[in-house]
Structure formats: structure tokens, C-alpha cells
Amino acid sequence: MRRKVIAGNWKMNKTPNETKKFIEELKALVANTENEVIICVPFIDLATAIEMTKDTNIKVGAQNMHFKANGAYTGEISANMLTEIGTEYVILGHSERRQYYNETDETVNLKLKVAFENGLKPIVCVGESLKQREDGVTKNVITTQTRLALDGLTNELVEKTVIAYEPIWAIGTGKTASNEDANDAIKTIREEIANIYGNETAEKVIIQYGGSVKSSNAKELFEMSDIDGGLVGGASLEPQEFSKIVNYDK
Ligand code: PEP
């Protein structure tokens, strides 16, 4: 049985002081869950979040990293910088990075390999735009993004990759994919992984759904056969609401 992994993506929200306050409240609220709880915070909040989550079941992730180890890349952060301070996860290829910062399937693949080389656990985002959905090319978009992201990885590393299926039209819009549509898209991604890496590997990959997940729809989504939890944006910014999503099965 695959575990449920529920990750918050704070995007560009919260200062270190706000991070401290958030975790002080969240830690008791999620202490009894068997689901994996992750908060992916801005770089500036990582050290505070890592310190504050010591001796808790909350894991901490970054939202991006560079694929180079160091060099003249002003404003960037490398994988070894993240691991040295104790960061466990990193989101790669979020649609906002693809849309605003020239993230491509090629850079996602490079970053994924470097993340693993440095002991980080990647959460790789894939998903179609509204236009692509309307044009009927969703399947092609999500299988291509998945295949190119994982290209060159061993089966062992593919099994350790968390994938987040996030239809772009559902991110931050309040529109959620129907349970069936989200589950079908995730099945499609799993089938693509099975075609390349075999069924045994594909069955082990955690594939989350992301796109306007909130406490009122988390249960119905996460109980679908292939949805292994969620990547949660807006609803992860408030401890009570986020804890209800994490505790959807209580
Ligand atoms: C996200 O940021 O990955 C996301 C899914 O955002 P929201 O939950 O706000 O749609």
C-alpha cells in the first residue's frame, strides 16, 4: 500500500516569524497522523522551519533549486546548500516556475538528478493548461512531462520520486478537477511510468493531486484509487485548515 503524502506549498508567503508561529500551532494538530506531512517554504524560512520541526513528524522542503553546485548564478540556491541546513524535500517544475521562470522539461530532469545526488527527495510537478485540456492533448502533455522529467533515472530513483499532477487551470483558481478526472490523469501518469520502468516500479511511485485542494474536498480526492495525497497551495497557509487536510482520514 502506498502511503499518503500531503505537502503544503507556501509559494511566496510568510516571514520567518510567521513560519515559527505557524509551526507552533500546526505541530500538535498533525501529531497523530500516519500520513506524511511536508511544508515547502520560501528559502528564507527554511532554517526556522527545520529548527521548529525538530522532534515532530513535519518534514520541510524547498520550492526550487538550481541544477549547478555553485557559480555565477545570482539569486539562485544549490542542492547542497539545501541539504547542509537539513532540507529534506524540494519541489521541482512547479507550473509557476515553468510559466514565469523558463523552467523546462530539460531543466527539471537536470534538477531531479542533482536533487537525488545530494540526498534530497523531489516532488516533480506535471500538468496541462486549460488550452491544452480544451484541445484534447492532456494525456500527451502529462505523459511527455513525466517521461522527460524521469529520463535517465534508475528504477530505484524513479520509485523515490514523488510526482504531483497539477492541472494548471485548477491551481489557485478554486476550480478542482473532478475526483474521476484527477484519478484518471494520475492513472495515465502511472501507466506511462509502467511502460518505461515496469509495473512494479510504477505501483510504488507516490502521485499526488494538486489544484485547489481544501479541507472540504480532500477526503473525496485522497480516497480515489490512484491519488496518493496532495500538493496544497492556498489552503496550506493556515494551520487549522491545513491540519484538516492532513487529517482527512480521521
Ligand atoms: C500549488 O501551489 O501547487 C497549488 C496546487 O495551489 P492551490 O492549492 O492554491 O491551487
- Does the pLDDT value for residue 176 go beyond 90? no
For residue 203, indicate whether it is catalytic. Answer: no
Selecting among 36, 96, 166, 192, the annotated active-site residue is 166
For residues 33 and 249, give the distance between their C-alpha atoms in angstroms, rounded to a whole number. 9
* Residues contacting residue 84 through CB under 8 Å, at least 6 positions apart: none
Ligand 1 centroid – CA 198 distance (Å): 30
User: Which pLDDT score is estimated for 175?
Assistant: 86
Atom of ligand 1 nearest to the CA of 166: 5
Counting Cα atoms < 13 Å in the Cβ hemisphere of 62 gives: 26
Set of cell numbers at residue 126: 506535471
For residue 94, indicate whether it is catalytic. Answer: yes
User: Which pLDDT score is estimated for 217?
Assistant: 97
Tens of pLDDT, residues 192-239: 999 999 999 999 999 999 999 999 999 999 999 999 999 999 999 999
Selecting among 66, 94, 96, 192, the annotated active-site residue is 94
For the purposes of burial, counting CB atoms within 10 Å of the CB of 139, is it exposed (0-12), middle (13-18) or buried (19 or more)? Answer: middle
Ligand 1 centroid – CA 108 distance (Å): 19
Choice from 212, 227, 241, 245 to test ligand 1 binding pocket (greatest atom count within 8 A of CB): 212
Give how far Cα 152 sits from Cα of 13, 112, 158, Å.
34, 10, 10
Tens of pLDDT, residues 140-175: 999 999 999 999 999 999 999 999 999 999 998 988
**Is 231 near ligand 1, meaning CB less than 6 Å away?**
yes
Tens of pLDDT, residues 73-127: 999 999 999 999 999 999 999 999 999 999 999 999 999 999 999 999 999 999 9
Confidence of residue 72 (pLDDT cuts 50, 70, 90): very high
46, 148, 138, 61: which is closest to 103 by C-alpha?
148
Nearest CA to ligand 1 atom 1: 233
For residues 119 and 140, give the distance between their C-alpha atoms in angstroms, rounded to a whole number. 31
Q: Residue written as cell 516500479? A: 201
